[in-house]
Structure 1
Amino acid sequence: MPVEHPKVAVLLAAFNGMRWIEEQLDSILGQSAVDVTVYISIDPSSDGTEAWCADYASRNVQVIVLPEAGSFGGASRNFFRLIRDVPVDEYDFVAFADQDDIWNLDKLDRATRAIRLRQVDAYSSNVTAFWADGRACLLDKGQPQVAWDYLFEAAGPGCTYVMTHRLMTQLKTSMLADWEALQQVRLHDWYCYAYARSHGFRWFIDPWSSMQYRQHAQNQVGANTGLGSLIERYKTIHDGWWFSQVRLIARLVGVADNAFVRRWLPLGRRQLLGLSLSARHCRRRMRDKVFFFCICWAAAIVGKKAE
């Protein structure tokens, strides 16, 4: 009697992906012990991505290219479109994929097994960042989750996310109800993690590296390594963008009226100084707890906050 494998919908957002997308698709379609269908949504591209994907899909029944839907202007809106338009209720699990990575061939098998064995609702993992010059390093996202980390960071790269049918159907319903406001969220993986945690869903972050995470000049969000990445992230905090996203996500996931969140949500000087004292509850990694404390103080001193 044949073994019935879990059905997994892989949502892939593409934009000018001709240099890498075939290698990525091959690694997804080669996944072991799962029944995979890949849905591709393409932001209008100038390198022939649309025509190539249409031809690839015509030769692979496991690949479906969604109809053109105009310009998204970023990966987040493209992924939200995928969640909206893909029949996620027909699958046991849903996973996200970028166009330029390389998945370990047991990535989805390990994720779906972990979800079932641990009785959790979602999974993410560490990744191995790699560069064209041969450099590589592990990106460790597997520190223990804390009470409020989900309002201030994602659960790791979104391309490692695998979520259950139950979580995805509820997430989709919530997204559709707040569709217009949702378009202002710039990081879909951060929002999905925040929704899951704030609604009582259990999330497992695997310390195992599930994929090769390609780094190049076109990365919208790349590896958070070294001093340069800290400086770039500080710039987003200094100009108010990061705090505005914190406020938006807190409201969208329904925790703005929580007593803890209400104390700092105005994000004025006094609230930021108070929030700094809760750093240990807001980020997972020790380095990030210290950085969080410092940026709250820096933002309070210079008067930067969400608009």
Structure 2
Amino acid sequence: MPVHFPRVAVLLAAYNGMQWIEEQLASILAQTDVDVTVYINIDPSTDGTEAWCAASASRHSNVVVLPPAGRFGGASRNFFWLLREVDFTDFDFVAFADQDDLWHPDKLSRGIDAINVKGVDAYSSNVTAFWPDGRACLLSKAQPQVTWDFLFEAAGPGCTYVFTQALAKALKASMFDHWHALQAVSLHDWFCYAFARSHGYRWFIDPSPSMNYRQHERNQVGANAGLSSLVARYKTIHDGWWFHQVQLITHLVGQAEGTFVRGWIQLGRLQLVRLSWSAWKCRRRLRDKAFFFCICWATALIGTRTK
């Protein structure tokens, strides 16, 4: 009898990706014990990405390039469009893919096994970051989930995410309801994690890496490692971007009226001080809890540039 593998829709956002996309697509098509269809949406590019992807789709029946839809200007809007436009009816699972990584051969099957065995609705994992000079390091995102982490951070890189069909359809429905406001969300992986957790979906973060996470100068969001990364993240907070995203995502996932959130959502000085004392249940990693506490106090004292 023929073996029926789980059917997975892989959503790949591309933009000027000719340096890496061929290697990445090969790693996706080589996934074991799954039936994969790759849907590619391309932000208008200047390096031949569109032509190469069209040629790949002509050679592979399980590679589909979405029709041109104008400029998206960032990965988040590109992924939201993929979630909106791809029909998941015939698929068991949905996964995200960046154009420049390298997937382990069992990335999807391992994620699906975890979803089935643990009885959860979504999967993400640690990754191994690697640089052109040969450096590599494990990026750990698998600390225990806490009560409110989903309002303040993602579950790790979105390119590790795997969803059940039911969760993917719920995400799609919510996106249609909030499509205009959603365009201001900068990080699709943060929003998807927040939506899932706030609506009672269960999520597993795997401590084992499932892919090699390429680092280069054009990463929209790179590895959160080292002092320079910490400084860069402080700048986004001082500029007002991070707290604005917290407010926006909190409203979009329907959490703004809860007792805990009402205590700080306006982000006034006293509210930020109050929020700082909840740092232990707002971030997963110990270092990030401490950073969160300090940022709340610093912002309360000196504000942000947008205020």
* Corresponding position: 1:70 with 2:62: no
Aligned AA (2:148): W
Match of 1:80 in 2: 80
Match of 2:188 in 1: 188
Asked whether the equivalents of residues 238 and 303 of structure 2 are also in contact (C-alpha less than 8 Å), the reply is no
Match of 1:284 in 2: 284
Helix, strand or coil: the match of 2:209?
Answer: strand
**Could you tell me how far apart the structure 1 residues matched to 2:225 and 2:118 are?**
30
Using the TM superposition, give the Cα deviation of residue 90 of structure 1 relative to its aligned residue in structure 2, in angstroms.
2.3
**Could you tell me how far apart the structure 2 residues matched to 1:14 and 1:88 are?**
20
Using the TM superposition, give the Cα deviation of residue 101 of structure 1 relative to its aligned residue in structure 2, in angstroms.
0.2
Match of 2:119 in 1: 119
Which runs of no fewer than 5 residues in structure 2 stay unpaired?
none
Match of 2:29 in 1: 29
Q: Where does structure 1 differ by over 3 angstroms across 4 or more consecutive aligned residues?
A: none
Using the TM superposition, give the Cα deviation of residue 141 of structure 1 relative to its aligned residue in structure 2, in angstroms.
0.4
Match of 1:40 in 2: 40
Superposition pairs for residues 1-307 of structure 1, below 5 Å?
Answer: 1-304=1-304
**Could you tell me how far apart the structure 1 residues matched to 2:170 and 2:159 are?**
20
Helix, strand or coil: the match of 1:8?
Answer: strand
Helix, strand or coil: the match of 1:243?
Answer: helix
Aligned AA (1:291): F
Name the TM-score, length of structure 1 as normaliser.
0.99
Using the TM superposition, give the Cα deviation of residue 305 of structure 1 relative to its aligned residue in structure 2, in angstroms.
8.1
**Could you tell me how far apart the structure 2 residues matched to 1:198 and 1:305 are?**
30
Name the TM-score, length of structure 2 as normaliser.
0.99
Using the TM superposition, give the Cα deviation of residue 3 of structure 1 relative to its aligned residue in structure 2, in angstroms.
1.5
Asked whether the equivalents of residues 76 and 185 of structure 2 are also in contact (C-alpha less than 8 Å), the reply is yes
**Could you tell me how far apart the structure 2 residues matched to 1:90 and 1:241 are?**
38
Aligned AA (1:175): M
**Could you tell me how far apart the structure 2 residues matched to 1:73 and 1:213 are?**
22
**Could you tell me how far apart the structure 2 residues matched to 1:303 and 1:109 are?**
46
Asked whether the equivalents of residues 121 and 201 of structure 1 are also in contact (C-alpha less than 8 Å), the reply is yes
Using the TM superposition, give the Cα deviation of residue 269 of structure 1 relative to its aligned residue in structure 2, in angstroms.
0.4
Give the count of matched residue pairs: 307
**Could you tell me how far apart the structure 1 residues matched to 2:143 and 2:150 are?**
13
**Could you tell me how far apart the structure 1 residues matched to 2:122 and 2:242 are?**
25
**Could you tell me how far apart the structure 2 residues matched to 1:133 and 1:123 are?**
30
Asked whether the equivalents of residues 129 and 136 of structure 2 are also in contact (C-alpha less than 8 Å), the reply is yes
Helix, strand or coil: the match of 1:264?
Answer: coil
Q: 1:191-215: CA deviations, max 9, x gaps? A: 0000000000000000000000000
**Could you tell me how far apart the structure 1 residues matched to 2:305 and 2:220 are?**
23
Asked whether the equivalents of residues 43 and 72 of structure 2 are also in contact (C-alpha less than 8 Å), the reply is yes
Please tell me the root mean square deviation across aligned C-alpha atoms, in Å: 0.8
Using the TM superposition, give the Cα deviation of residue 304 of structure 1 relative to its aligned residue in structure 2, in angstroms.
2.3
Aligned AA (1:10): V
